[in-house]
Amino acid sequence: MRILIANDDGYLAPGLAALVQACEGLGELDIVAPEQNASGTSNSLTLNRPLSVYTAANGVRYINGTPSDCVHVALTGLLEHRPDLVVSGINQGANMGDDTLYSGTVAAAMEGFLFGIPAIAFSQIDKGWAHLDAAARVARSVIEEVLRRAPAAAPFLLNVNIPNRADAERLPRQITRLGRRHASEPVIRQVSPRGETMYWIGAAGDAREAGEGTDFHATANDCVSVTPLQVDLTDHAALPQWQAWLASGVAR
């Protein structure tokens, strides 16, 4: 068993160290993480400059790029052997609902999934790393369980969100769907010492669709949320309407 571990908070993040420790004993581990915090970089790849790979004193390799860069470089040239599993995290803060579209943590796992490798992203609900050891035990348990009896032979992509609780490993687990958020808060405008106007991206909107069955609902009710994700963004239900629309236009 070979496991590739990445994250988006950077190679010095406590969540990465916790996930590495959680995976010890499960197989051969390779850690490739961003040099800097790369939260919110989604699935971006760095194409406008070369990337450099460095090795920290503890053997962790880090790259001056995005989380997707890290997994992409690892799988396409850095590693001598293809991993059997890609795990990402443990992120400082939730990645639920619309957040998954922006999340570097989810993107790192998704990059492995795009290469046909099973992948799991792990996040804590609240920032601050409270009860990180408990979250790591949950991650270990989930990894062991999917390795022992995954429900499908095909590669999977899971998004796991863990409440910041000392008893997290004893909390119920729910298979969930992604909720939805309201639109983000307005940008924050500031003026630099040079008189230039600057803008900070506003906070994420509150949960809009957070009913039973969603990741928001599960974690709000002290459950570990496990959401299977897919990459296909096609609106399959709308295909017939768009085909009819095109046909009617051609007919005229």
Average pLDDT over residues 202-207: 70
- Please state, in angstroms and rounded to a whole number, the distance separating the CA atoms of residues 89 and 106: 8
The three-class DSSP label of residue 62 is: strand
Which of the two residues, 214 and 204, has the higher pLDDT score?
214
At residue 47, the pLDDT reads 94
What's the confidence (pLDDT) of residue 205? Answer: 64
Average confidence (pLDDT) over 102-119 = 96
pLDDT value for 251? 53
212 vs 110, which has greater pLDDT? 110
At 215, the pLDDT band (50, 70, 90 cuts) reads: very high
Q: Which pLDDT score, from 0 to 100, does residue 2 have?
A: 96
Please tell me which residue, 244 or 206, carries the higher pLDDT value. 244
pLDDT digits (tens, 9 = 90+) for 70-109: 999 999 999 999 999 999 999 999 999 988 998 999 999 9
Distance of alpha carbon 82 from alpha carbon 103, whole angstroms: 24
Q: What secondary structure letter does DSSP report for 214?
A: B
Residues 239, 241, 244, 249: is their CA dihedral positive or negative?
negative
Q: Tell me the pTM.
A: 0.91
Q: Say whether pLDDT at 40 is over 90.
A: no
Pure H helices in the chain: 14-23, 67-73, 104-114, 132-149, 215-220, 239-251
Where residue 186 falls among pLDDT bands split at 50, 70, 90?
Answer: confident
DSSP bridge pairs for 189: 199
